[in-house]
Amino acid sequence: MSVFTTVTPGQLSAWLRNYSIGTLTQLEGIAAGIENTNFFVTTTHGRYVLTLFENLKAGELPFYLNLMAHLSRHGIPSPRPIASLANEYLGVLNGRPAAIVTCVPGNDLQQVDAGHCATIGGLLAEMHLAGASYRAKMPNPRGPRWLRAAVPKVLPFLDQRAATLLKDEARFQALYRRADLPRGVIHADLFRDNVLWDGLRVGGIIDFYFACNDALLYDVAIAVNDWCLNEDFAVDHERTMALLAAYHEVRPFVAIEREAWPAMLRAGALRFWISRLYDLHLPRPGVLTHAKDPQHCQRMLEQHIAREAELLRLFVT
């Protein structure tokens, strides 16, 4: 992710004395994403990922780090936080809360097929089931309160047509209730670039720092919005049905989730449209920056609104 806080090899070498993972041999900034400062760290014991948290507060971070440890213990391929000599996952480096985790193998994919989508659907359901025994709670940081605050800030950067769409959809989602849907711990950002493939298998799911408690179906919708989209910004039938069917086999959907499906797809598109607008037009300074195209999510939202009946027919129950 973008490097907002610089770290020198000397500073990191001193910090690593708090851990039993060897001595530093290489430090490399990771230049993708927008939320935290990440580095690849290679030591005499192996390869790790160091994260300095730019927005999240120290009091919030145990939820995420303990969740990663919990999922890893339950067999979900994900980074495992490394405890310090004081048996703490969280430290402080250059004035920022910091943590170091194992580096999972593999690379993300730009092109995916129905087989990849089926794998992701089944793994997402397994992650939801594993998360059911995780007792800590975290309200969605990109939920209704954030939506109300962010919309007025990004509206001035839109033309009239896009501004009307944004206001109308924000109003629709504010009125839509999803508290009665099955809920639990969700990843909330399961895009293709957050899944690393080691050959034909998933080497690891990464970037849990938007994880929270929300509707499980919302997590599925976010995944479909990225893994199953065509070039015209409509969902691909084969990939969508493969992902949903594989998920359903592990955690069967209930009837109310079918009715909520189009609204959840729209909610996922809206959330990332707003955050991308914010990152593009109101960025924080960083050494490396990476802002994704917000129009991608706008067009996706327009397609979801226009194709509601088609989206319902694709849903597996």
Query: What is the pTM for the complete model shown?
Result: 0.94
9-51 residue pLDDT tens:
999 999 999 999 999 999 999 876 567 999 999 999 999 999 9
Q: Do the beta carbons of residue 278 and residue 271 sit within 8 Å?
A: no
92-130 residue pLDDT tens:
999 999 999 999 999 999 999 999 999 999 999 999 999
The reported pLDDT for the residue numbered 283 is 83
Query: What distances in angstroms separate CA 235 from CA 33, 75, 245, one per listed residue?
Result: 24, 30, 15
Task: Determine the Cα–Cα distance for residues 94 and 4; give it in Å rounded to an integer.
Answer: 11
Query: What distances in angstroms separate CA 135 from CA 63, 130, 168, 179, 180, one per listed residue?
Result: 10, 11, 36, 18, 20
Q: Do the beta carbons of residue 308 and residue 244 sit within 8 Å?
A: no
Region for residue 87 given its phi and psi (left: phi exceeds 0; alpha: psi -120 to 50; beta: otherwise): left
Task: Determine the Cα–Cα distance for residues 317 and 291; give it in Å rounded to an integer.
Answer: 37
- With 0-12 / 13-18 / 19 or more C-beta atoms within 10 angstroms meaning exposed / middle / buried, residue 282 is exposed
Can you list the domains of the chain with their CATH numbers? 9-102 (3.30.200.20), 114-314 (3.90.1200.10)
Alpha helices in the chain (DSSP H): 9-15, 61-73, 114-131, 144-154, 160-175, 216-227, 237-250, 255-281, 294-306, 308-314
- With 0-12 / 13-18 / 19 or more C-beta atoms within 10 angstroms meaning exposed / middle / buried, residue 40 is middle
Q: Do the beta carbons of residue 197 and residue 109 sit within 8 Å?
A: yes
The reported pLDDT for the residue numbered 55 is 87
268-296 residue pLDDT tens:
999 999 999 998 998 876 544 567 899 99
The reported pLDDT for the residue numbered 290 is 62
For the cut 90, the answer to whether the pLDDT of residue 177 exceeds it is no
